Structures are given as C-alpha cells and as structure tokens.
A = this chain, B = another copy of it.
Amino acid sequence: MQFSSSLLENAVNEFAKLPGIGKKTALRLVLHLLKQDTGVAGQFSEVIARMRSEIKFCQRCFNVADGDICSICANSLRKQEVICVVESIRDVIAIESTQQFNGIYHILGGIISPLDGVGPDQLNIESLISRVQKEKTEELIFALNPNIQGDTTIYYIQKKLQPCNLRITTIARGIAFGGELEYADEMTLARSLQNRLPVESYVSNR
C-alpha cells in the first residue's frame, strides 16, 4: 500500500498493529478519523493515552481500577466472603453482565500452561492463597475456561488450599443453552451426564 503522506502511513501502521486489524481496515479507521473534526481524533488519542498511563490494578483482586481498590471490591453491598476466581478482566465483565453474581473476584492473569511456559509463579496464585487466609473467605468459585489448562489450575489451587476450611466450587460445565446434543463433544456430554441435576432444582432455577 502506497501513501502520499507519512503521517497517514504511520497512523495506518499503528492501527494495523492491533489484533485482528489489517491494513485495509486500519486505513478505513484512519480515514474515518480524518473526516471528523480535529477534536474527535484529539479526544480519541487523549482518552487512550490517559487510560494507559493512569489506569491502576486493584491491589486486592487485580481487576482494573481507577484507584487502589476497584469499584467491585469497594462495594460494601457485595458479599466479601465469596470470591470468584477468573483468568482475565474480560471474564469479570462477562460475569458482571449476567447480574447473577454478588461476590467479589480474583483475577489470576492467566492459567497454568506449561506448554506456553506459564507456571504458577507467573500468576496471582500466591496472593489468592494469602488473601483467602487473611480475609474470612467462605467460598471460592472457579470460573475458568473449561479445558485441560483450566482444570490443572483448579487442581493446583485446590491442593494448596486444602488446609483451609473452605467451600471450593466451579461453574457448571454442560450443554450450553440453545446448543444441540448432537453436536456436543463427548467430553462435554459425558460430564453433563455425570453431573446431572434433579429436575426439581433445574425447574426452580428457571
């Protein structure tokens, strides 16, 4: 792609560095910003720069925060004794949008994956364990992606926490709502058979 302006070219290259954005899309986005008033692009770039330089991570749960403690941890209406353990900030946003969880979170920052060179030491696991011991945590809910790495991580943390008297659970794995049995993989189908629910509890949950 040939540009008659290096300013344009640099802007396109910066956008094209973002995941899932190729040169053509980058050009479309840049030309869009170029069409708007100067203020629009100015605000866009300022907000991005501020976000990166001023954002903090909650010292308790490692969620993104405007201050030292995130708004979820600071909310006294939420059950501080129930911690939901997730992999990333994105998972917090997904769970929050269900409006079904009223506890607090702990973000691991990844999952144990020896093939990718990620061991327990690179994750926020030590801080979770000391947190559970310090705070009066009653239940730990694992909401990790259902795969081998997720299960390994659950197993590792659960072993570490065995001395503590704690209820440890994981979100249910099974056939997704609207999914079709026919296309489910054997592992999922097998697990959903093993963990079958009494129909009364299923009906009452609806």
Contacts and interface: CB of A to CB of B under 8 A. Distances in A.
Interface of A: 1-8, 10-11, 14, 17-21, 25, 27-34, 38, 41-55, 58, 63-66, 70-72, 88-90, 92-93, 96-97
A8 B42 CA distance: 17
Please tell me how many copies of the chain the complex holds.
2
Given A7-B50, A8-B51, A93 B28 contact: no
A contact face: mostly helix, strand, loop, or mixed: helix
Contact of A90 (B31, B48, B97): B31
Contacts of A96: 2
A203 to B, nearest CB: 29
A93 B55 contact: no
Contact of A8 (B14, B31, B41, B55): B55
10 contacts: A4-B71, A5-B63, A7-B55, A18-B29, A20-B25, A27-B93, A28-B90, A33-B48, A41-B48, A44-B48
